[in-house]
A = this chain, B = another copy of it.
Amino acid sequence: MTEATRRERLRAETEREIRQAARTLLVENGQDAVTLRAIARKLGITAPALYRYYDSHDALLRQLCDDICADMAAALYANLAADTSGQVGCKVRAVCHAFRRWALAHPQEFALVFASPRDPLGADQFGSVFLQLAGPLIASNEDANHVGEEVPAVLHEDLVRFQQVLRDAVAEHGVTLADEVLNLGKIYHVVQSWVRLYGHVALEVFGRFPFAVSNPEPMFDSMLDQMLADIGFQEN
């Protein structure tokens, strides 16, 4: 079964421990606490040994970001699967709520992955995770609304590119979409929804609402209602 040699197994195990130690440090003590020496201390080895696994501290942080994204994607998919209502609107709500809950429960991870002026955009990065869900959800809402709705002409080029991204994402799930379903108007509203979703969650996680909000969840719900209405889902 295990085709790996003994050494490869040990190496994989150590690498797993490194990632887990880094993650624990991030969660419990913040980004600045994720130091090579602290990680090494947790594993009972010395700091230079980590260079056998990662080229630099920065590379290790990048790996950490990828792990976090993967975990969040898994959490979102799990919440999506847990919704058995069959109604698309409910599924969208479930995913959005899961995103908010995850961000609030993992503020350090959210800040690291989301709001650092890092490299332009990794292939397996954050937004793509969320929007790989958007494709199938749109696909399952076959109403061809928003057709012919006015979308500024300057945006067409970018929206068509995004349309292709969504089409590819859906294709991986074995579904092909007609242009009437995935029309530009709807795509535009998806982007707008992403802006609002991210805006609300980031403001809440970073505590940057312009006034004290006693309980932001109803405000989030209210925003979701409007988003879903804009995007063309019938009221729940």
**Chain A: residues with CB nearer than 8 A to chain B?**
30, 107-108, 111, 114-121, 125-128, 130-131, 152, 154-155, 157-158, 161-162, 165, 188, 191-192, 194-200, 202-203, 205-215, 218-219, 221-223, 226
Contact (Cβ within 8 A) A212 B155: no
Contact (Cβ within 8 A) B117 A111: yes
Q: Kindly provide the distance from the CB of A202 to the nearest chain B CB, expressed in whole angstroms.
A: 6
A191 to B200, CA, bound (A): 10
Q: 12 other contacts beyond A158-B212, A191-B209, A195-B196, with CB at 8 A cut-off?
A: A107-B117, A114-B206, A116-B206, A119-B207, A152-B221, A154-B218, A155-B218, A165-B210, A192-B196, A196-B199, A198-B199, A199-B202
Contact (Cβ within 8 A) A111 B116: yes
- Chain B residues near A200 (CB-CB < 8 A): 195, 199
- Chain B residues near A194 (CB-CB < 8 A): 199, 203, 209-210
Q: Is the interface of A mostly helix, strand, loop or mixed?
A: helix
A-B contact pairs, 24 of them (CB 8 A): A111-B115, A114-B208, A115-B115, A115-B202, A117-B206, A118-B206, A127-B210, A130-B210, A131-B210, A154-B215, A155-B218, A155-B219, A155-B222, A158-B214, A165-B211, A188-B222, A191-B209, A192-B226, A195-B196, A195-B200, A195-B203, A195-B223, A196-B199, A202-B202
A114 to B196, CA, bound (A): 17
- Chain B residues near A161 (CB-CB < 8 A): 211-212
- Chain B residues near A202 (CB-CB < 8 A): 115, 198-199, 202
